[in-house]
Amino acid sequence: MIGLSLSWLSKRTDDVEEIVRELKDLPYRGLELDYRFDRETIGKLVRELKGADFRILSIHAPCPRPEEVSRVQASADFYNLASTDEDERRLGVKAAIHTVQFACDLEVRAVVLHCGYVIMENEKDRIRDLWKSGELEQESSQEWLTKKLDERNQKAPVFFDQMLRSLDAIHKEAVKRDVLIGVENRINYHEFPLGDEFEAVFREFAGGNLRFWYDTGHGYILDAMGIQPVKTLLEQQTERLLGVHLHDVREFRDHHAPGTGKIDFAELQPWLKRAEVFIVEAHDHATREEVRDAFDFVVSQVL
C-alpha cells in the first residue's frame, strides 16, 4: 500500500475535520502520522481516519508532539539524540519511546527516526548556492567541502557514542513492543548516520528491530554534493530496507511531489521496490494535483 505523509497538511492546519476532508478524494488509503500533532489532536485524528477507512502505515517520531514543544517549534530534530547535553538527549529518547508505545497501541509496526547530529556550523545554504551556480565542482569548492567533512568527522565520535546510547534505549522499547525502527538517511553532512556509520549502527544492533529507511530527496541531494552516492548506499542497505519516503527535488529544495523534479525514480526502482512501506512525503509547497498524480507515478515508476 502507498501512503501519504500528513506533513503535506500538518504545517498549515491541525483541524481534524479539514484534514479528513482534504484526504477523502485522494487515491491514498495509507497514511504516515507526523510530528506536528499533539496528543489530543492525534487521538481525535486517528479515530476519524479509521472511521473513514484509512490505515496508518508508519509514524514519524516524535509523535505525539511532546507537551513542551509548540506546534510552531515542532520538528523531527527538535531534540538531538546525539547531544552531549544529557537533559536534551534524555528528552529526545523519552519522546521517541512515546512514539514507539503509540505505534504499538495503534498496531503500526514502522516508526521513522532521525538519529541526531554533530554540533557544528551547517553551511547548507553555501553548498546550495555553489550547486545552483555550477561552482560546486570547482577545485576551491571541493577543498572547502572536504575541510567541512574533515571537521565533521573529527568531532563526530563523541556525538556518535551519545547517539548509540539513545538508540539503545529506544531499541529496547521497540523490541519489547514489536515495533520496527526505520533509521532515516539525512540531508545534511553533519547528521547521523553518514557513509560507513550506517554499517556501524546496524552492526551494533544486529538481529534486532533496527531497519533502514530511505529518503529519496535526502539521498539525491547528498549525492549531488558528492558526499554520499545513492547507489552505494542502496546497494549496502537494501536488505534492511523497511520503508521509503518518496519526494522529489527542484533547485536543491526537496519534498516536492514525486515525478515533478530531477530524481530518476525508474533508475532507483530495483532497490526501492523491496521496501515494505511506501510514503509520499510531499510538503505543503506541492499542489493538490501534484500529490494526487504522485500516486499513479509511484505505481508506475517504483512498485
Q: What is the pLDDT of residue 125?
A: 85
pLDDT at 131: 83
Predicted local distance difference test score (pLDDT) of residue 238: 93
| Residue 164 neighbours by CB under 8 Å, 6+ apart | 201, 204
DSSP 8-state assignment for residue 191: B
- How high is the pLDDT of residue 136? 85
Provide the residue range defining the domain that includes 282. Answer: 2-301
d(Cα 128, Cα 225) in Å, to the nearest integer?
9
Q: Kindly report, residue by residue over 71-95, the tens digit of the pLDDT.
A: 999 999 999 999 999 999 999 999 9
Domain tally, the chain: 1
- 44 vs 51: CA distance, rounded Å: 11
In whole angstroms, give the CA distance from residue 260 to residue 265: 11
Q: Parallel, antiparallel, or unpaired: how do β-strands 253-256 and 248-250 relate?
A: antiparallel
CATH number at residue 162: 3.20.20.150
> What's this model's pTM, rounded to 2 decimal places?
0.96
| 157-200: pLDDT as tens digits | 999 999 999 999 999 999 999 999 999 999 999 999 999 999 99
pLDDT score at 129: 87
The Cα–Cα gap between 237 and 289 comes to 33
Residue segments in the chain with a per-residue pLDDT below the cut of 50: none
CA separation for the pair 170, 31 (Å, rounded): 23
